[in-house]
Structure 1
C-alpha cells in the first residue's frame, strides 16, 4: 500500500480505517479484522468514545505497534493547554500506547487563544508524545495562519472530501507546504453508490461505485482517505479499490459532478469560505 511521506517524518498509508461511529466490541473486532487484512492506518478521536476499543484491538492484533499509524484528535472544547494535555494523556492511556502517530485538533474553537493552543500542540511533538501533529476542519485562512504566522510543523489536515465536494484551494496549499490531506466521509456516507455517473464508471470497470469514488481520491498526490467499514467484505472492498484504474473519460465524468455537497456542518463549524 502506498504511503504519504513528508519532510515532517510523516509516513502514513493512503488508505485507512475510519472508526466513527463504531463502539465497544464492534469497534475492536473491526480494527482487529482490518489489521489482519493488511490495513496499517487507524483513525479515531476522543469524541468518538472508542479509543479504548481501538487500544484493545491494537494490543490483541499481534501486529507490532510501530507498524501501525494511529491518528486521534482532541475536541474543540478542550483546547486550553491544560485541557489538551489531559486529553492527550487520556487518549494514550485508552490506546495503550506511549505515543500517537498523528495528534490533531478536531475542530477550531470560536473563543480561544490560538497561539497558546498551537504552542501546546507543537510541544507534544517536541516531547515525542505525538510523532506528528495536524488539524482537522480548519478553513484555508486559519490553516495559513497556523503554518505561516505561528510556524507550526504540521504534517496533515483532515477535512470532508469526496467526489461531490471540492477541496481544491486547500489541497493546493497542502501540496505547497508538504501536508497530507486526509479525506473523511470519502464515500459521501455511501451515497456515492446512488450517483449515476459513478454507477456507469463502475459498470465499465466491473467494480463498485464506492471503489471508483475511493480510487479517485487515492490517485491524488498528498491525499489519504479513511472510509468507515465494519464488515470484512467492506474492508476488503475498500482495499481492492487500490487496484482500480480510472481513465481520462472517467475523470471527466467525475469532474462534472456537483462539488458543493457538504455533509458535515455542525453549529460549531467555522466559516468554510
Structure 2
C-alpha cells in the first residue's frame, strides 16, 4: 500500500501563475501529495509549481487522472498518458488514475495499457476514481500490478463505509476528495457542535474525521497560505468516539459530483 500522507493537495480550479504559486507554497509548507487530472486543464500549472519548489521531486507523490474520452483504444490511451507527463514536466507520475469508468473505459483494454506504464517505470501505480465495489473487484482481477488507490467523493454529507471496508480488505488507500462538501460542512449543526467543542472549524473537523479513518487520506483544495496551513494542521486534531459517532450519524446525503 502507498503510504500516503493524511492530507494532500487537491488542485481542481487552481490555474495560472497564482495556481502554480499555491502548489509551490503547499510543498514548502509540508504537503507531499499533489493531485491533478487531465479534465482540470491545469497539469502544466501543477508541474510549474512543482518545478518552482525546492522540495525534491522524489519526495513528492504526484498523481493525475486520464479522462473518460481517452481510455481506449490503446494508442489513444498511450498518447494521452504521454501528453500528461509532458504537461507536468516529469518523466513519471507516482499514481495514474482512471478518472471515471464511463465513455471509452474498457477494462480489458485500459488496464493492460496502464500496466505497461507501470512496467516501464513511467507510472508508479495505477489508481481508479469513482468506482463501485463491483467495478473495483473487476479491476483487481484484471490489473497485474497492485491497485495503487481508489479516489472518491467522501465527506460527512456523503459517507462511503462500504468503499472504506473494500479498501481495508484490499490493502489500498482510499483518497477522499471534496472533504468540505463544497463548503456545505459549515452549515451542518453536528459539525458545528464538534467544532465548538474543540475550538476549531467545521472544515478542520471534517478533515480530521476523514484522516482518522485507518485507510483514508484526503485532498482538500486550497490556494491561500492560511487555508493551506489550516488544512494541513487539521490532521493533528484528535476527535473522540463521541465526535465520530455524531458525524457518522448525520442524516443528510448530498453528492456533489454524480456521474
Q: For the superposition of Structure 1 and Structure 2, which TM-score range results when normalised by the shorter chain?
A: over 0.9
Q: Return 5+ residue gaps in structure 1 as ranges.
A: 1-5
Match of 1:234 in 2: 227
1:150 deviation in Å?
A: 4.9
Aligned residues between the structures: 258
Match of 2:97 in 1: 104
Runs of 4+ off more than 4 Å:
149-152
Query: In the alignment, is residue 69 of structure 1 matched against residue 61 of structure 2?
Result: yes
Q: Return 5+ residue gaps in structure 2 as ranges.
A: none
Aligned residue runs from structure 1 range 31-180, under 5 A: 31-80=23-72, 81-110=74-103, 112-180=105-173
Q: What TM-score do the two structures reach when normalised by structure 1? A: 0.91
**Contact (CA 8 Å) 2:6, 2:211: kept in 1 or not?**
yes
Q: What TM-score do the two structures reach when normalised by structure 2? A: 0.96
SS of corresponding position for 2:82: helix
1:258 deviation in Å?
A: 2.5
Aligned residue among 1, 25, 40 for 2:17: 25
Distance 1:14 1:178 in 2: 16
**Contact (CA 8 Å) 2:115, 2:144: kept in 1 or not?**
no
Distance 1:243 1:255 in 2: 20
- Taking only aligned residues, the RMSD between alpha carbons, in angstroms, comes to 1.3
Residues 149 and 56 from structure 1, CA distance in 2 versus in 1: closer, same or farther, beyond 3 angstroms?
closer
**Contact (CA 8 Å) 1:115, 1:150: kept in 2 or not?**
no
Per-residue Cα deviation, 1:151-202 (whole angstroms, up to 9, x for no partner): 5521100000111112111111111111110001111011111111111111
Per-residue Cα deviation, 1:181-230 (whole angstroms, up to 9, x for no partner): 00011110111111111111111111111000000000001111000001
Query: In the alignment, is residue 218 of structure 1 matched against residue 172 of structure 2?
Result: no
1:149 deviation in Å?
A: 4.9
1:114 deviation in Å?
A: 1.8
